[in-house]
Structure 1
Amino acid sequence: MTGPLVDAMGKPHQIADQASVRLVSLVPSITELLCDLGLSSLMVGRTGFCIHPADVVKTIPKIGGTKDVNIEKIRRLAPTHLIVNIDENEKPTVDLLSEFIPHVIVTHPMTPADNIGLYRLLGTIFQAEEKAEKLVYAFETASAALTRSVIHPMERVMYCIWQDPWMTVSRDTYIAQMLSLIGWEVWCSPDSEKRYPVFDWNQQLLDQIDRILLSTEPYHFSEVHVDALERQTGKLVQLVDGEMVSWYGSRAIAGLHYLKSLALS
């Protein structure tokens, strides 16, 4: 990677000595990326939501969730490096952890293309440049294939991540930017400034959208919800793999292939 090693907060980082690294990840998609970079042996802690790759992460101790972190357990692990994400982790928690963890790397991919910088940043810091470049190549190849694929005309979609209350995503989220690659523009209320706004179903809203997408995460929508919502709204409702759309890191490569299959379906 050329240029300074700077994270999402503009904080510079140095290349780490692998022999002394003790790494904790509070971000599921980053945990998977670290494993795909061949760095799992450096990891001493991960969240219970860090589930991929299953055969690798099962040997890495859990330290709570992405929000409800066990501070004292992490302290006992004596990590040298912590990786967090602006959307997924709470700043007060990160501030507490930064009091005793020397190196805190903040991530915040906003667009699919940001994955390239993410691969190179972590690959360089932890001396896995060769594997990082292989991921860059795979991402760029998948992105080019998606661009060449048959794309639907632009559609307005409602991407649902929760119910009771119903919640969606704003257009400046990573999810929305992923969907835009196949011409799907997420609906979002012009009155809301939240990244994950609450909404209610009404006819005015339904008149503005072409289809409804129910994500398999973080809420576990299923085909049962699809059938019920189709009857309620009269709209095309589709279940989508939330990991493929929302997880950045190495899973974004599979996500691009997944989007291509959606575009051609």
Structure 2
Amino acid sequence: MGQFILDHLGRQVNLSTVPKRIISICPAITETLFALGLEKEIVGRTKYCIFPKGMVESIPIVGGTKEVNMETIRDLQPDLILAEKEENTKEIVLALEKVAPVFVSEVQKIDDSYRMIEALGLLMNREKAAEHLIASCKTSFPNPSCKQKLNAAYVIWRKPYMVVGGTTYINDVLDTLGFQNPFATEESRYPMVTKEELTKANLDVLLLASEPFPFQVKHLAEFQSFLPNTKILLVDGEMFWYGAKMVEAGLYLERLTKKIEEITSGGSSKQKECRNVKFTKVSKM
């Protein structure tokens, strides 16, 4: 290699050879590395890097996404560290640069996920594998086709309530599925909202994610008490991860959308126009 490459923040990353010892501090990136056949090159991960199950467990843990163990990372002697702007802090990236080159991805839209996969293929000399994975993601994932959208919010936290804002990958997925996020115009990526703000949003659908806060059945009544006319569903937050997870997520999102269509079909013309969303089955790698 022997040249520099710009990461997604425009930072210069200098690599003399193809990296052989990688540390990933972003769960979605770690899973994607496995999908590209790079399991032997991964020498470190965070405690939140839990996929693919049955394979990732043998890789040493270097901390979390917001706090890492610098001594452990130094001992692992990485020649490349992979981070993501939202998942990891600027302070962590600056500290890690003193140990090894750090490539920072930024994923705010579905297309950004494909760009991240392409970058990993380029960095690791796995361009063909990256092309194949991107093709599989695109085959699995839904294509947007709704003209009018149901109002929907995606809740990630409780006490205080926090929802997904506009400049996020999850918001782009919601848009693709045929939902209009009333909180997409907020300045924060994950704005805090009150019961009153959720009520005023005139929500057709409220999605309670399984992570980072583990919403469960017992929480449904809490929201239904002040949103009596909103359809409230629990969703698997992991199916809203980017990268390799998109292959598996396609079928889940298809089923979720059909379920929402069934429980909301009694009413609005908005829903009738959204029935034209096209899905294809999950392709096998």
TM-score normalized by the length of structure 1? 0.88
- Specify whether residues 62 and 122 from structure 1 end up closer, same or farther in structure 2 by C-alpha distance, changes over 3 A only: same
Within 1, Cα distance between the matches of 2:119 and 2:70? 26
Deviation, 1:93, is: 1.4
Deviation, 1:84, is: 0.5
Deviation, 1:15, is: 7.1
Within 2, Cα distance between the matches of 1:127 and 1:36? 14
Within 1, Cα distance between the matches of 2:235 and 2:38? 30
- Specify whether residues 90 and 227 from structure 1 end up closer, same or farther in structure 2 by C-alpha distance, changes over 3 A only: same
Within 1, Cα distance between the matches of 2:140 and 2:15? 29
Deviation, 1:78, is: 1.2
* Structure 2 equivalent of residue 132 of structure 1: 130
Q: Does 1:243 align with 2:238?
A: yes
Deviation, 1:209, is: 1.7
**Mean alpha-carbon deviation: is it higher for 130-139 or for 40-49?**
130-139
Task: Give per-residue Cα distances to partners, 1:38-65, cap 9 Å, x unaligned.
Answer: 1111111100000001211111000111
Q: Does 1:182 align with 2:180?
A: no
* Structure 1 equivalent of residue 216 of structure 2: 222
Structure 2 residue corresponding to 1:119, chosen from 94, 103, 117: 117
Assess if the C-alpha contact under 8 Å between 1:120 and 1:129 holds in 2: yes
Instruction: Please report the RMSD computed on the Cα atoms of aligned residues, expressed in angstroms.
Output: 2.2
Within 1, Cα distance between the matches of 2:102 and 2:94? 10
- Specify whether residues 36 and 206 from structure 1 end up closer, same or farther in structure 2 by C-alpha distance, changes over 3 A only: same
Deviation, 1:240, is: 1.0
* Structure 1 equivalent of residue 280 of structure 2: none
- Specify whether residues 72 and 177 from structure 1 end up closer, same or farther in structure 2 by C-alpha distance, changes over 3 A only: same
**Mean alpha-carbon deviation: is it higher for 33-42 or for 223-232?**
223-232
SS in 2 for 1:58: helix
SS in 1 for 2:252: helix
SS in 1 for 2:154: strand
* Structure 1 equivalent of residue 162 of structure 2: 167
- Amino acid of the structure 2 residue aligned with 1:96: A
Within 2, Cα distance between the matches of 1:30 and 1:11? 18
Within 2, Cα distance between the matches of 1:5 and 1:209? 44
Q: Does 1:260 align with 2:259?
A: no
Assess if the C-alpha contact under 8 Å between 2:144 and 2:177 holds in 1: no
Task: Give per-residue Cα distances to partners, 1:190-213, cap 9 Å, x unaligned.
Answer: 5x4211111110177345221211
Assess if the C-alpha contact under 8 Å between 2:171 and 2:184 holds in 1: no
The 5-angstrom pairing of residues 31-110 of structure 1 reads: 31-101=30-100, 103-110=101-108
Q: Does 1:201 align with 2:199?
A: no
Within 2, Cα distance between the matches of 1:105 and 1:193? 26
Assess if the C-alpha contact under 8 Å between 1:26 and 1:89 holds in 2: yes
Assess if the C-alpha contact under 8 Å between 1:161 and 1:168 holds in 2: yes
Within 2, Cα distance between the matches of 1:154 and 1:187? 11
Within 2, Cα distance between the matches of 1:10 and 1:203? 37
Q: Which runs of 5+ in 2 are unaligned?
A: 260-285
- Amino acid of the structure 1 residue aligned with 2:168: T
SS in 2 for 1:181: helix
Deviation, 1:180, is: 0.4
Within 1, Cα distance between the matches of 2:24 and 2:164? 24
Within 1, Cα distance between the matches of 2:156 and 2:222? 16
Task: Give per-residue Cα distances to partners, 1:118-142, cap 9 Å, x unaligned.
Answer: 2221012111222211112112212
- Amino acid of the structure 2 residue aligned with 1:252: M
Identity %: 33
Within 1, Cα distance between the matches of 2:144 and 2:90? 40
- Specify whether residues 39 and 15 from structure 1 end up closer, same or farther in structure 2 by C-alpha distance, changes over 3 A only: farther
**Mean alpha-carbon deviation: is it higher for 207-216 or for 88-97?**
207-216
Assess if the C-alpha contact under 8 Å between 1:159 and 1:168 holds in 2: yes
Q: Which runs of 5+ in 1 are unaligned?
A: none
